[in-house]
Amino acid sequence: ITSGGVTYHDQPWHKECFVCAGCKTQLSGQRFISKDEYPYCVDCFSRFYAKKCAACKKPITALGGAKYISFEERQWHGECFNCAKCSVSLVGQEFLTRQGDILCHECG
């Protein structure tokens, strides 16, 4: 490697050889997530490994310091953790559950 190399896990890589373990897209200069010692592009990691939000069903990733709520095997993006009836945010609030829904005290 004479120029433009990448270091990953203290090992040198040609930038054209440093690719996503899922789709084989080059990762040099891109955001990626490591899983089981393998690098993945954000899309592949989200598709294969990320937990899905119980409200919007989109992947929850840790990129950008994203915060999420976890309760009884379910997870939500912070912005999706809302009362199922009135949509008020329940982040940091007490809530009730009924038939899989999360509800504020007013609606519960």
pLDDT by residue for the chain (108 residues), tens digit each? Answer: 656 678 887 888 888 889 999 999 999 888 888 888 899 998 898 888 888 899 999 888 766 556 788 898 899 998 899 999 999 999 989 999 998 899 999 998
Give the C-alpha separation, 30 to 39, whole Å: 11
Q: What is the pLDDT of residue 67?
A: 76
Q: What is the pLDDT of residue 60?
A: 84
Fold exhibited by the domain 51-107: Cysteine Rich Protein (2.10.110)
- The pTM score is 0.63
Give the C-alpha separation, 95 to 74, whole Å: 15
Please return the burial class of 8, using the count of CB atoms within 10 Å of its CB with bins 0-12, 13-18 and 19+.
middle
Domains 5-49 and 51-107 share a fold: yes
How many residues belong to the chain?
108
**What architecture does CATH give domain 5-49?**
Ribbon (2.10)
The full set of domain ranges for the chain reads 5-49, 51-107
36's tokens = 């089981």
CB 63, CB 31: distance < 8 Å: yes
